[in-house]
Amino acid sequence: MRILLVSQMYPGPDAPALGTFVAELEAGLASRGHELARAVVDRRGGPSRHAVLARDVATTARRFRPDVAYAHFLVPAGLLAVLGGRAPTVVTAHGQDVENALTSRIVRAATRLTVRRAAGVIAVSHWLRDRLESAVPEGRGRIEVIDCGVDLERFAPADARAAREELGWHVEGTAFLCAGSLTERKNVLRLARAFARHGEGTLAFLGEGPLRGALEGRPGIRLAGTLPHDRIPHWIAAADVVCQPSLVEPFGLVTLEALAGGRSVVATRVGGPPEFVPPEAGVLVDPADELALAAALANAAAMPRPNLAGRAVAERHDIHGQVLRIEAVLERAAGAPAVAGAPAVDG
């Protein structure tokens, strides 16, 4: 197939970690022999970026003549694809796009138009599918659940001591890791306070954001800043416990990557993680309960190191299998026969 990839998040020179999951799915589809052209935003911020994306969708579609458009995020990327992509469109909802539809009448109207015109709609978790159906009731029965998957070769169990030596991460006690933006939604301040209550180990934060200043100077905490996505496996290998206690997490890709790497997790109960985190691999927690979060850190720290219980779970989310499932949806949308061996889609 000729696939037009449309996304408002994509890795770029100044933002190498932006939308890496989109680029990885693109590479998976290309490895299957499909030809792709892209219209994407590869930088953060800027008032004109969505206008530029609209122009790029129209010009690239006219030049490339795709069989199908594959868009990430409902609005604006999905809307622009269904209006200007010149081909049947499959759109994936990732989370904030659905919340925007639930809280804004204007965005909800645009989202409804996107869903009605799309030839296929994907959500990255059952929780998110339910949220989208609340915002767009006419989508019920049409939304399929396929997450972005994990590369099991890159995220694999590895020796923690060697990884720490490579990173220069000096750890006494348990090595806790949190990867994500330093924002209120990622719940980093409550995690830092819970870590202080726990009273042992080291906590490293990967990422930047407005709460960096509030985290600086706290005992036992290291701020490693923003790193390219290809460095994340090294940090997960160096950790004993990976924490993702977000106030809401539509799927929880970092949590899945940690399970693939044989690391115990502390994950939010709100969103996608309850769908794939078993009790033997980690602890699910109410993200607003600081005492429960401190207890979760202690419980996860007592789990085996490495903890291989989550690896079997991660294997069911292998990115190669997820690419096959996405390919089947794209083939259906394009009107082509499904590829032999592609598994059925969980709707």
pLDDT digits (tens, 9 = 90+) for 45-56: 877 999 999 999
Is residue 344 situated within a structural domain? no
The SS3 of residue 16 is coil
The token duo for 76 is 């604006």
User: What pLDDT is attached to residue 46?
Assistant: 79
**Res. 344: pLDDT tops 50:** no
Q: DSSP string of 310-329? A: HHHHHHTTBHHHHHHHHHHH
Is residue 339 situated within a structural domain? no
CB 206 within 8 A of CB 226: yes
In this structure, the answer to whether residues 247 and 294 fall within a common structural domain is yes
In this structure, the answer to whether residues 7 and 65 fall within a common structural domain is yes
Amino acid at 290: E
In this structure, the answer to whether residues 7 and 22 fall within a common structural domain is yes
**Res. 346: pLDDT tops 80:** no
- Can you tell me the mean pLDDT for 276-288? 98
Q: CA 147, 242, 289: angle at the middle one, nearest 5?
A: 95
Q: Domain range spanning residue 323? A: 2-149+318-334
Is residue 154 situated within a structural domain? no
Phi, psi dihedrals of residue 183, rounded to the nearest 5°: -130, 170
In this structure, the answer to whether residues 56 and 92 fall within a common structural domain is yes
In this structure, the answer to whether residues 109 and 240 fall within a common structural domain is no
| Nearest partner of 303 among 263, 243, 246, judged by Cα | 263
**Beta strand ranges found along the chain (DSSP E):** 2-7, 35-40, 68-72, 89-93, 120-123, 143-145, 175-179, 202-206, 221-225, 241-244, 264-268, 282-285
Distance between CA 101 and CA 32 in Å, rounded? Answer: 34
Q: DSSP string of 222-234? A: EEEE---GGGHHH
In this structure, the answer to whether residues 224 and 325 fall within a common structural domain is no
Is residue 241 situated within a structural domain? yes
Residue 294 burial (CB count, 10 A): 20
**Res. 313: pLDDT tops 60:** yes
Tell me, what CATH number does 171's domain have? Answer: 3.40.50.2000
User: What pLDDT is attached to residue 347?
Assistant: 40
Distance between CA 88 and CA 81 in Å, rounded? Answer: 9
In this structure, the answer to whether residues 166 and 95 fall within a common structural domain is no
Is residue 345 situated within a structural domain? no
Is residue 10 situated within a structural domain? yes
Average pLDDT over the chain reads 95
In this structure, the answer to whether residues 208 and 240 fall within a common structural domain is yes
In this structure, the answer to whether residues 35 and 100 fall within a common structural domain is yes
Q: Among all chains, which residue has been given the structure tokens 């977000």?
A: 246
User: What pLDDT is attached to residue 110?
Assistant: 98
Per-residue pLDDT of 153-172, as tens digits, reads 999 999 999 999 999 999 99
**Res. 338: pLDDT tops 80:** no
In this structure, the answer to whether residues 174 and 111 fall within a common structural domain is no
Instruction: Enter the pTM of the model.
Output: 0.93
Percentage with pLDDT > 70 across the chain? 97
Number of compact structural domains in the chain: 2
Is residue 342 situated within a structural domain? no
User: What pLDDT is attached to residue 341?
Assistant: 41
The total number of residues shown for the chain amounts to: 347
Is residue 328 situated within a structural domain? yes
Residue 89 burial (CB count, 10 A): 28
User: What pLDDT is attached to residue 343?
Assistant: 43
Beta strands across the sheet bearing 264-268: 221-225, 202-206, 175-179, 241-244, 264-268, 282-285
How many Cα atoms are found within 13 Å in the side-chain-facing hemisphere of 294? 13
Contacts of 175 (CB under 8 A, 6+ apart): 160, 164, 169, 201, 202, 204, 238, 239, 240, 241
- Can you tell me the mean pLDDT for 121-142? 97
**Res. 65: pLDDT tops 50:** yes
In this structure, the answer to whether residues 222 and 102 fall within a common structural domain is no
**Res. 311: pLDDT tops 90:** yes
- Please give the span between the terminal C-alpha atoms of the chain, in angstroms, as a whole number: 23
